[in-house]
Amino acid sequence: MAFVYVIISIICSVSVSLILKTISKKNTNLLPSLFFSYITTLLACIFFFPQNISTKLLESSAILISLGILFPVGFISMSKSIYIIGIAKSEVIQRSSIFISLMISFVVYNEVLTKSKMFAIFLAPFAILLMITNKQSHNIKNHEHKNLFSLKYEKIWILILLLSYGTVDILLKELSKKELVINILSVSFLISAISLLFYLALTKNIKTITLSSLKSGLLIGSLNFCNIYNYIKAHKEMPNDPSVIFILMNFGVILLGLILGIKLFGERVTMKNYIGIAITTLIIISITN
């Protein structure tokens, strides 16, 4: 049954990327959709998981606020990356962010530097470079999608994608040591929604909230929660084999993202990119053994 949960989680994860790709191609503001998505995810967490507000939430306030900011930043950078280099390569780069969390673990938590982790840290930058050094920037050349989408910002958004997801991974690992993980995540989703609403009001973009953004937000939020829910269920089904779930999830997302990116959107994947994908897969397998 664990594998069924993983498959559902993979489908939900890649489906979110497909929606982000569609929104970016329409040249519409993503932030209202993200606002509604976090409200949806929050309500789903409250409905499906028992909520217990305690002092442990206050003890984790720094993590709560950090996640509340990093969640939307991660989504936005993923959307920009998908627009710039496509779904297939963005999914691989997102999964490559694990090497950022490994480096932080050694510096902050003094984790033991094993051979497999040294191998991962050494190879990860090469894998990322192989994914982004090609001619897949026709979207930017043909459609100057405001200033932030111009070519000179391409590497910056990919760097933000790596750093945001890598930092989120570390914060989630820190949360796993505590109880009430879902409760803490629920508060983080609330902070994300409030921060996005505040930003929209501050920049006078409240009018960009439309029925269309509500619909896409409900869909993104539902898929996001479904991803989280099934991933947690998969780990509960195989509590003694977390590495198996981790490998299946990451490899599945990379593979499905690659197939859909090529088939649905005609994304060009060069031999360099395939080598980068192979290296990323090797890194994921090596770290979990």
Q: What is the pLDDT of residue 133?
A: 61
Q: What is the pLDDT of residue 178?
A: 65
Picking from 7, 13, 24, the residue whose alpha carbon sits closest to that of residue 223 is 13
Which residue in the block uniquely carries the two structure tokens 């690992």?
Answer: 173
DSSP-derived secondary structure letter, 50: -
Residue type, 158: I
What stretches in the chain show pLDDT beneath 70?
A: 27, 51-58, 109, 133-153, 176-181, 183, 288-289
How far, in Å, CA of 244 to CA of 285, rounded?
Answer: 9
Instruction: Check: CB of residue 247 under 8 Å from CB of residue 288.
Output: yes
Q: What is the pLDDT of residue 13?
A: 94
CA 183 to chain centre: 20
Q: What is the pLDDT of residue 64?
A: 84
DSSP character string of 11-47: HHHHHHHHHHHHHHHTT--SHHHHHHHHHHHHHHHHH
Q: What is the pLDDT of residue 19?
A: 93
Q: What is the pLDDT of residue 203?
A: 83
Distances (CA, A) of 115 to 48, 103, 119, 136, 155: 41, 14, 6, 34, 29
Q: What is the pLDDT of residue 288?
A: 67
Query: Based on the structure, what is the number of domains in the chain?
Result: 1
Residue 145: give the domain boundaries: 2-287
Q: What is the pLDDT of residue 239?
A: 80
Q: What is the pLDDT of residue 221?
A: 96
Q: What is the pLDDT of residue 92?
A: 85
Q: What is the pLDDT of residue 74?
A: 92
The first and second tokens of residue 90, run together, are: 């963005």
